[in-house]
Amino acid sequence: MTKQFITVLLTVIMSVAACFADSKTYTLSVGDFTCLKALNNANVIYRSNPDSIGYAVFEAEHRYAKAYIFSNNKAGTLKIEVAPEFADDDTLPTVYVYSQFINKIESSSTSTVFIDTPTPCPLLKAKLIGNGRLIINNITATTAEINLSTGNGTIVANGTCSHLKIKTIGTGVIQTDELIATDVDCMILGTGSIGCNPRTSLNVKGIGSTKIYYKGQPQIKKSGGGTLIPMD
């Protein structure tokens, strides 16, 4: 029994070692961009890093070397999609992408796209299509536009802005109660939920049974459907 156990243990160790030996870091030049589009089941982390502008980096086994397809239209948009043969693979590596500045994010990925501390900007637009997850950490913007278009996805955002525009269609969740805004406008169509943090005013328009949770004591204007629920 002991010999069998040792044999199995050695086999496991050698298999793990082989996996690590086959793993390497892939660094690809994709060009600078201000708009990021993530498709399929891509796992993406974005950071603004002056030392890595225009690069995509991921660590993976050799079999994932061509899992991601990058295309830059030279007009500021980087598109990341998954190669067809990896479309149903739920163990894809996370790809890190870097640019000098970003002001637009669009994700139809069924996985997670994480935007980490985008450079302060006048206008930041973020859109999620489908059932994935989009997280934006530490927004600093004059105006932020958050759009959840169809599906049951989740958008999470924090930071500060003067004007927050939220649009939701479907059954998804928008969590912006940690995104402090002077004024918040919500356009709703569906049965999802919104969390927000308006300091001065909250304006809600649309139809459906979307629940709007809000912090503070803003001036409220409401037209149409939706249910307003104070969080404090």
Domain with residue 67: its CATH number is 2.160.20.120
Provide mean pLDDT across the span 172-177: 98
Residue 162: which pLDDT band, with cuts at 50, 70 and 90?
Answer: very high
Please count the CA atoms within 13 angstroms of the CA of 205 that sit on its side-chain side: 6
Give the predicted TM-score (pTM) of the model: 0.90
Q: Residue 182 has what pLDDT?
A: 99
Q: Which pLDDT band holds residue 20 (cuts at 50, 70, 90)? A: very low
- Read off the pLDDT of each residue in 2-27 and give the average, rounded to a whole number: 55
Please state the rounded mean pLDDT for residues 85-105. Answer: 95
Over 80: is that where the pLDDT of 18 sits? Answer: no
What's the whole-number mean pLDDT along residues 202-213?
97
When pLDDT is averaged across residues 109-123 and rounded to a whole number, the result is 97
pLDDT value of position 1 = 43
Whole domain around residue 179: which residue ranges? 2-230
Q: Given this model, what pLDDT does residue 9 score?
A: 39
Range list of β-strands (E), the chain: 23-29, 35-38, 44-48, 55-61, 68-72, 77-82, 95-99, 104-107, 112-116, 121-129, 133-149, 154-170, 173-190, 193-208, 211-214, 219-224, 227-230
Number of domains, the chain: 1
